[in-house]
Amino acid sequence: MKEFRVSFLVTALCIGIAGWWGTQHEMGLWTALWLVTVLAVLEVSLSFDNAVVNAGVLKDMSEFWRQAFLTIGILVAVFGMRLVFPIVIVSFSGGISAVETMQMALNNPNQYSQVLVEAYPVISAFGGMFLMLVFLNFLFDSNKETHWLGAFEERLTKLAKFSEISVFIALCAIFSTRWWVPEAEQSRVFVAGVMGVLLYLAVDAVGALFENEEEGDAAVKTIQRSGFASFLYLEVLDASFSFDGVIGAFAITKDVVIIMLGLAIGAMFVRSMTVYLVNRGTLSEYIYLEHGAHYAIGALAAIMLLGTRVHVPEVITGLIGVAFIGAAVWSSLRHRKNHPEHYAT
């Protein structure tokens, strides 16, 4: 379990800081430790499917970019997306400076969380559209050889001859919000959704730029650039997953320090699970696991789109993800039992 060593060290550090923070405030030591534990579990439960998808990308990356994902990437994930990003959202939504926003977060957490919750429809539209394209492009991938749902998925892959079918469906989804999102939010939600689509296309374009086959030194440079594109894709994917966790955390506590510590522990374990899946070859052993993760992502995208109108409890989101992953594992075990020749070493 060497993949989890750093996660346990970070957990010990965060728990120590949380304990100290709790003794300095009214919540006390044990309440602080309990809240951090709950938040860490929330983050892992919402992001396990993220770890599976990450592993599918990470297994094709060089060792250099894997390490970058586990060092620079974790700093971006913890401090960037789970601390800085909410501050930027609140600052932009409230029309106040970042310094004033940080002061609000520490001194008036109720007002801070209220502004963040009010921005949730915009956040949901942006992240939901990005995740929807992740799911749709997997669903319509004509190069996919394994089909979890058999003939149904095979027929869908035939639609890949329409190269922009995923973008078309995503744009139809965001256009549909004009009929059921409150009028006051329609313009913001629409623009945010379109921005989510454009961001996915931009990240995809960066990867496509470096897919040319080269030889010698040129090949090395191509692989390095492709690694950067994959790294960028993983960071944006993590950002999209983090939205629900950050918003949901405020339903548990309004203390931004406790929230950051709890989500940091969860984010570290998600990273460790990703590396564990890659190192142990789990994706090849459980052939439908990646399918289950992408269907969970599709469900999350739909839930985030609904979040532009109503808030779906994070417990439901987490349970849906676990259900898809569990079904995929069960299907993989059945396949392994019925087709042992595919797993012969």
As a whole number, mean pLDDT of residues 160-164 equals 73
**Of 216 and 86, the one with more pLDDT:** 86
**Of 212 and 241, the one with more pLDDT:** 241
Query: Is it the case that residue 12 has pLDDT exceeding 90?
Result: yes
Q: Which residues contact 40 (CB under 8 A, 6 or more apart)?
A: 11, 262, 263, 265, 266, 269
202, amino acid identity: A
Q: What is the pLDDT of residues 127-149, one digit of tens each?
A: 889 889 988 988 888 777 788 87
> If you ran DSSP here, which 8-state letter would residue 312 be given?
P
Q: How far separated are the first and last CA of the chain, in Å rounded? A: 23
pLDDT of residue 17: 92
**Of 315 and 274, the one with more pLDDT:** 274
Q: CA-CA distances (angstroms) from residue 270 to 7, 73, 78, 301?
A: 9, 12, 11, 19
pLDDT of residue 184: 83
Q: CA-CA distances (angstroms) from residue 143 to 147, 204, 319?
A: 11, 17, 30
Query: Is it the case that residue 222 has pLDDT exceeding 50?
Result: no
Q: Which of 28, 14, 7, 96 is nearest to 260 (CA)?
A: 14
pLDDT of residue 217: 43
Above pLDDT 90, what percent of the chain? 7
Q: Which residues contact 170 (CB under 8 A, 6 or more apart)?
A: 129, 132, 133, 136, 197
Do residues 110 and 271 touch, judged by C-beta distance below 8 A? no
Q: What is the pLDDT of residues 21-69, one digit of tens each?
A: 889 888 888 888 998 998 888 888 777 778 888 888 887 777 888 788 8
Q: What is the pLDDT of residues 82-130, one digit of tens each?
A: 778 777 777 876 677 888 888 888 788 888 888 877 888 888 888 889 8
Alpha carbons 215 and 13: distance in angstroms, whole number: 46
